[in-house]
Amino acid sequence: MTASILALSLLFSAAGMASASPTGDKIASTAKSYVGKVKYRWGVRDPRHLIFDCSSFTQFIYQRNGVHIGWGANAQTKYGKSVYSKSKLQKGDLVMLSTSRPGKIGHVGIYVGNGKFVHAIQSGSVVSDLYSGYWKNRFVKGTHVK
């Protein structure tokens, strides 16, 4: 059985498919559990009342899983390994997005698999698609937090 699991693991790695770590799965699950429960306010981090901006939300989710990262989308890029292809993202990775100039990081969320990410925006905490709508061409990079 162990050999079969190892073989499958190598097969998927060789095919270039990213697989989430147990911590990544937990982070993604925690992020999804807050969808629809968070209020957005720029520049605010208020865990008691679940009021966050985008980066304080990601910071809060990571902290709930015992991982400490800074506040601010640009600051959070420094806490792990950069991932420049959407197809290489793993569950739990930070997703850095452009909201103004192309290539300039202005927003952050948490990748939860299947091209989706959870983030805090004006309407609260939501799930969005990296491959369609507003966010389709706004991916700058991901960060696989160590």
* C-alpha–C-alpha distance, residues 23 and 80, integer Å: 14
Tell me which of 10 and 67 has the higher pLDDT.
67
Per-residue confidence at 21, pLDDT binned at 50, 70, 90?
low
Q: Catalytic site residue 54?
A: yes
What dihedral do alpha carbons 79, 17, 87, 105 form, nearest 10°? 0
Four-way CATH pick for 16-145: 3.30.1510.10, 3.30.70.360, 3.30.465.10, 3.90.1720.10: 3.90.1720.10
Which residue is catalytic, options 49, 54, 68, 144? 54
Which residue is catalytic, options 49, 68, 119, 144? 119
- Answer yes or no: are the C-beta atoms of 86 and 96 closer than 8 Å: no
Going by C-alpha positions, the residue among 73, 126, 80 that lies closest to residue 96 is 73
Q: How many CB atoms lie within 10 A of CB 139?
A: 18
Summarize pLDDT for 62-110 with one digit per residue, the tens.
999 999 999 999 899 999 999 999 999 999 999 999 999 889 999 999 9
The distance of Cα 101 from the centroid of its chain, to the nearest Å, equals: 21
Domain ranges of the chain: 16-145
Relative orientation angle of helices 22-33 and 54-64, to the nearest 10 degrees:
120
Specify the pLDDT at position 146: 80
Going by C-alpha positions, the residue among 62, 58, 32 that lies closest to residue 45 is 58
Per-residue confidence at 53, pLDDT binned at 50, 70, 90?
very high
Q: Catalytic site residue 119?
A: yes
Q: Which residue has the tokens 């901006």?
A: 53
What is the DSSP-derived secondary structure letter of residue 81?
E
What global pTM score does this model have? 0.85
* C-alpha–C-alpha distance, residues 85 and 131, integer Å: 12
Q: Which amino acid is at 5?
A: I
Which residue is catalytic, options 49, 68, 107, 144? 107
